[in-house]
Amino acid sequence: MLSSDNGGPWSSSRVGVWNNIIRTNGSPGYWLDIYRPRLVEFESDRNVFWSSGDSVGYFVLDFNPMRIDAWRSATGQDRTSYLADPLFVSDPTNDDYFTQNQSIARDRALVFSGARFCGLGPDIGFRESGC
């Protein structure tokens, strides 16, 4: 959840969600949940959304669960995000969440931080793989 919906005076502003691998592990699972009256200047793109096992992933917009096509239409966000298994290595917890060579997360992140990367571009997720 990226904004308050509890009726208090709180709001969130200038929230960016870029270059993340976001996974649900339960049904239903919510990838991103926003309440627009309390969120100003929100941007989200170039993420990998993944539902593991039998779970179904959703976005929640103003209390309404929706799939990615409706989310994109309603918010204009995540136009170049992916719905895919990020293909982590076999033991990601102990292998620092590196991805396999054929991962959709490889070389596809937005370039904006000035951080160094290997390959054709930075990887989506917190770890640069394949260096």
In a domain, 66, yes or no: yes
Local structure of residue 58 (DSSP, 8 states)? E
In a domain, 3, yes or no: no
Element (H, E) at 70: helix 68-75
Query: CA-based angle 36:37:42, to the nearest 5?
Result: 40
Which pLDDT does position 6 carry in this prediction?
A: 67
Element (H, E) at 66: strand 64-66
**In sequence order, what DSSP letters do the residues of 7-49 get, joined into one string?**
SSS--EEEEEEES-EEEE-SSSEEEEEE-GGGEEEEEEES-EE
Which pLDDT does position 105 carry in this prediction?
A: 95
Helix/strand/coil for 65: strand
In a domain, 118, yes or no: no
Q: How far apart are CA 85 and CA 78, in angstroms?
A: 17
Residue from 63, 55, 110, 61 nearest 82 by CA: 110
In a domain, 74, yes or no: yes
In a domain, 117, yes or no: no
> Length of the chain in residues, anyone?
131
The list of the chain residues with pLDDT below 50 reads: none
Question: For 81-106, how does the pLDDT look when each residue is reduced to its tens digit (9 = 90+)?
Answer: 999 999 999 988 888 889 999 999 99
Question: Which domain covers residue 45, as residue numbers?
Answer: 17-83
Count structural domains, the chain: 1
In a domain, 2, yes or no: no
Which pLDDT does position 113 carry in this prediction?
A: 66
In a domain, 123, yes or no: no
Which pLDDT does position 116 carry in this prediction?
A: 83
Which pLDDT does position 111 carry in this prediction?
A: 84
In a domain, 46, yes or no: yes
